[in-house]
């Protein structure tokens, strides 16, 4: 069977290239009937996610309508029947509109496409949809001459958002415990980028993406932290591999195949009823705040400016001052308790002081609660940082890319590190203006000797107590990968990104996925 693809010749004219043989994915032009014969848990898993989220939304909305109507009726000393009638009125307007808007918005399909979705990603669409529903309720009340006090409308808006978001968080937590949530994943391309992605999937099982193996005709030697992961075949074997390994997701990383052959592969995979993800070219320059726009259907990825406006920086600094100041006051009893325990655990000062590099590589004295014995030699740390700069470095026995020095860490210091409470004194650095609440990890001067040119972008913004690396990877990433995340944050910084990372930080800490 021949497959014809239009390619560009050297003179700029369109030409025909005949792709024949299994090497060029000709057998992936599969019939729909062949795909339907495949028994897979993909459909069931996707339906479970959609059903759980939809049920959580409906329960949250009904609960919000009933609660607000009952409280309003009680405050105005209305009867039970009046409260019930008000609840039914709100539900009758809210639910149909909610179902329609969420369908248009695609709110229930996003979890199938993006494995890393959390409740913070739901905030904007939920607020928008609830606000539209509120206007619909006002219009319906006007048309029916229903008397709805402002307190009811404000209460309904607030309660709906809170209860829906909480419900979605619970629903995801429940669904992620089910076997059908896990998606068997194949990576096409076993080069440096494909193997880097594979390592990230292995290190983050909470994403629900189980790495089955790689597909590549000419793979590189497997990196140490992927030892035992197999290259299962060539791209021409994908149809068979999808069926044999019950694959629900395929990620296409870089390979040596020409552009038009990779495009043919993407089109052919659409017949296999699997989720297809692409690792974009120049992904190192793409951060968490990129925007995609179109010129006559041609997608363009807009990279945000690396320099924030003066007003944005002023807001960021104001937030740092207010939050760090209040936190220091509220947490002062905890500070005193930790200081007492540190002094009892070993001889030495309460605070560990170390010179770090902040914005524009300006040095400052970082504060932490001391977790190690006094005068601990830092040479092992220097050597370890240099070793984990290598992308082929395998994690330690604890499955983390972190130097384990139990002989140097105090008993109480070990607990402080596990809970990340040793970082609290950095609130003083934030209040002083040496750091921010959110930003790249404050690095040591000798670490910068290992930086690649694009890693110096991290010094465009203040160092932070938490950031993109701390939330998404923590000690599960190599040193180079941590630097890539810090640089990505600095290039794409925004107040919205800061807010999202601050909301995600407590969850990351509670998961106990390692500390800095």
More confident residue, 299 or 99: 99
> What's the longest Cα–Cα distance across the chain?
83
Average pLDDT of the segment spanning 278-298:
72
Q: At 33, is the pLDDT very low, low, confident or very high (cuts 50, 70, 90)?
A: very low
Q: Contact, 464 vs 436, CB < 8 A? A: yes
Checking if the pLDDT of 402 tops 70, the result is no
- Look at 282 and 462; give whichever has higher pLDDT: 462
Q: Return mean pLDDT, the chain.
A: 78
pLDDT (tens digit per residue) in 219-231: 888 888 787 888 8
pLDDT higher than 60, residue 11: no
Spatial CA neighbour of 478 closest among 287, 241, 226, 304: 226
Contact 327, 502 (CB under 8 A): no
Contact status, residue 252 vs residue 262, Cβ threshold 8 Å: yes
Please report the pLDDT score of residue 436 as a whole number: 95
The two structure tokens encoding residue 184 = 């068997």
Q: Is the pLDDT of residue 395 over 70?
A: no
Closest to 211 in 3D by CA, of 513, 219, 227: 227
> Rounded to the nearest 5°, which phi and psi values hold at 464?
-135, 160
**CATH number belonging to domain 182-279:** 3.40.50.1980
pLDDT at 374: 78
The answer to whether residue 401 scores a pLDDT higher than 60 is no
Cα separations (Å) of 2 from 18, 22, 276, 444? 7, 10, 24, 58
Supply the pLDDT for residue 28: 45
Kindly give, in sequence order, each residue whose CB lies less than 8 Å from that of residue 193, ignoring residues fewer than 6 positions away.
253, 254, 279, 283
- Asked if residue 189 lies in contact with residue 255, where contact means CB atoms within 8 angstroms, the answer is yes
Between 140 and 79, residue with greater pLDDT: 140
Q: In the chain, what are the helix, strand and coil shares in percent, each to the nearest 5?
A: 55, 15, 30
> Measured between alpha carbons, how far is 91 from 247 in angstroms, rounded to an integer?
40
Q: Which two tokens stand for residue 504?
A: 């995600």
Rounded Cα distance between 186 and 247, Å, is: 7
- Residue 361: the pLDDT is 92
Which of 191-200, 204-213, 252-261 shows the lowest mean pLDDT across its residues? 252-261
Least confident piece of the model among 289-298, 354-363, 406-415: 289-298
Q: Reduced to 3 states, what is the DSSP secondary structure of residue 418? A: helix
Q: What is the pLDDT of residue 323?
A: 95
Give the burial string for 54-81 (b: 16+ CB within 10 Å, else e): bebbbebbbebbbbbbbebbeeeeeeee
Spacing of C-alpha 461 from chain mean position: 21
The pLDDT assigned to 363 comes to: 94
Instruction: State how far the Cα of 215 lies from the Cα of 252, in Å rounded to an integer.
Output: 9
According to CATH, where is 3.40.50.1980 located in the chain? 182-279
Report the range of poorest mean pLDDT among 98-107, 143-152, 349-358, 506-515: 506-515
Distance CA 481, CA 193 (A): 12
Q: Is 20's pLDDT higher than 50?
A: no
Running DSSP on this structure, what letter comes out for residue 361? G
The residues, ordered by sequence, that sit 6+ positions from 383 with a Cβ below 8 Å of its Cβ are none
302 pLDDT above the threshold of 50 = yes
Report pLDDT digits (tens) over 235-254. Answer: 888 888 888 888 888 888 87
Where is average pLDDT lowest: 28-37, 118-127, 162-171? 28-37
Of the ranges 250-259, 460-469, 479-488, which is most confident? 460-469
pLDDT higher than 70, residue 515: no
Closest CA to 218 of 21, 23, 29, 390: 23
- The rounded radius of gyration (Å) of the Cα atoms in the chain is 27
**HEC profile of 37-88:** CCCCCHHHHHHHHHHHHHHHHHHHHHHHHHHHHHHHHHHCCCCHHHHHHHHH
Question: What is the pLDDT averaged over residues 205-227?
Answer: 85
Confidence (pLDDT) at 513: 47
Residue scoring higher pLDDT (142 or 230)? 230
Per-residue pLDDT at 214? 93
Q: What percent of the chain has pLDDT over 70?
A: 77
Q: Which residue has the higher pLDDT, 419 or 114?
A: 419
Give the least confident one: 129-138, 144-153, 311-320: 144-153
The reply to whether the predicted model has a pTM over 0.85 is no
Of 257 and 247, the structure prediction assigns the larger pLDDT to 247
| pLDDT digits 0-9 by tens, 305-352 | 656 667 788 889 999 999 999 999 999 999 999 999 998 888 889 999
pLDDT tens profile 462-474: 999 998 888 876 6
**Is residue 365 predicted with pLDDT exceeding 80?**
yes
Instruction: State the residue for tokens 């009726």.
Output: 73
The span from the CA of 509 to the CA of 488, in Å, is 21
pLDDT score recorded for residue 335: 94
More confident residue, 418 or 179: 418
Closest C-alpha among 265, 268, 272 to residue 37: 272
pLDDT band at 510 (very low <50, low <70, confident <90, very high): confident
CB 139 within 8 A of CB 27: no
- What average pLDDT does the segment 278-299 reach? 72
193 pLDDT more than 70: yes
The per-residue pLDDT for 387 is 64
């Amino acid at each position: 069977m021949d497959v014809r693809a239009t390619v560009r010749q050297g003179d700029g004219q369109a030409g025909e290239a005949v792709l024949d043989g299994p090497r060029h994915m000709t057998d992936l032009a599969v019939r729909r009937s062949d795909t339907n014969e495949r028994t897979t848990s993909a459909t069931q898993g996707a339906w479970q996610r959609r059903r759980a989220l939809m049920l959580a939304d409906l329960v949250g909305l009904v609960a919000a309508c009933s609660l607000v109507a009952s409280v309003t009726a009680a405050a105005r000393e209305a009867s039970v029947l009046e409260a019930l009638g008000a609840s039914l009125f709100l539900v009758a307007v809210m639910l149909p509109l909610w179902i329609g808007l969420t369908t248009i918005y695609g709110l229930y399909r996003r979890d199938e496409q993006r494995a890393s979705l959390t409740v913070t990603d739901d905030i904007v669409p939920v607020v928008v949809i609830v606000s539209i529903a509120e206007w619909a309720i006002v219009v319906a009340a006007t048309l029916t001459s229903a008397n709805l006090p402002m307190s009811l409308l404000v209460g309904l808006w607030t309660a709906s958002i809170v209860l829906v978001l909480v419900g979605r968080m619970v629903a995801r937590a429940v669904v992620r415990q089910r076997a059908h949530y896990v998606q068997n994943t194949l990576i096409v391309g076993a080069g440096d980028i494909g193997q880097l992605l594979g390592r990230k999937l292995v290190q983050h099982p909470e994403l629900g993406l189980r790495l089955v193996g790689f597909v590549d005709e000419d793979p590189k030697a497997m990196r140490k932290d992927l030892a035992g992961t197999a290259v299962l075949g060539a791209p021409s074997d994908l149809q068979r591999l999808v069926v044999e390994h019950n694959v629900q997701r395929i990620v296409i990383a870089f390979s040596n195949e020409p552009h038009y052959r990779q495009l043919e592969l993407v089109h052919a995979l659409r017949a296999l009823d699997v989720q297809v993800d692409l690792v974009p070219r120049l992904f190192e320059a793409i951060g968490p705040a990129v925007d995609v726009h179109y010129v006559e259907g041609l997608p363009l990825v807009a990279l945000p400016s690396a320099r924030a406006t003066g007003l944005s920086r002023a807001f960021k600094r104001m937030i740092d001052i207010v939050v760090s100041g209040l936190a220091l006051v509220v947490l002062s009893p905890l500070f005193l308790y930790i200081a007492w325990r540190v002094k009892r655990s070993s001889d030495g000062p309460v605070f560990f002081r170390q010179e770090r590099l902040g914005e524009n590589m300006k040095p400052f004295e970082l504060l932490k609660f001391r977790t190690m014995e006094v005068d601990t030699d830092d040479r092992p740390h220097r050597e370890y940082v240099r070793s984990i700069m290598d992308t082929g470095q395998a994690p330690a026995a604890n499955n983390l890319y972190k130097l384990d020095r139990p002989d140097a860490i105090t008993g109480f210091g070990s607990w402080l590190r596990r809970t990340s409470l040793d970082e609290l004194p950095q609130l003083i650095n934030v209040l002083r203006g040496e750091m921010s609440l959110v930003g790249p990890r404050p690095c040591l001067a000798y670490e910068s000797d290992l930086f690649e040119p694009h890693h110096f972008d991290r010094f465009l913004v203040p160092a932070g107590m938490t950031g993109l690396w701390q939330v998404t990877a923590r000690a599960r990433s190599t040193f180079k990968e941590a630097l890539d995340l810090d640089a990505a944050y600095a290039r794409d910084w925004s107040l919205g990104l800061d807010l999202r990372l601050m909301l995600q930080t407590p969850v990351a800490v509670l998961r106990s996925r390692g500390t800095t």
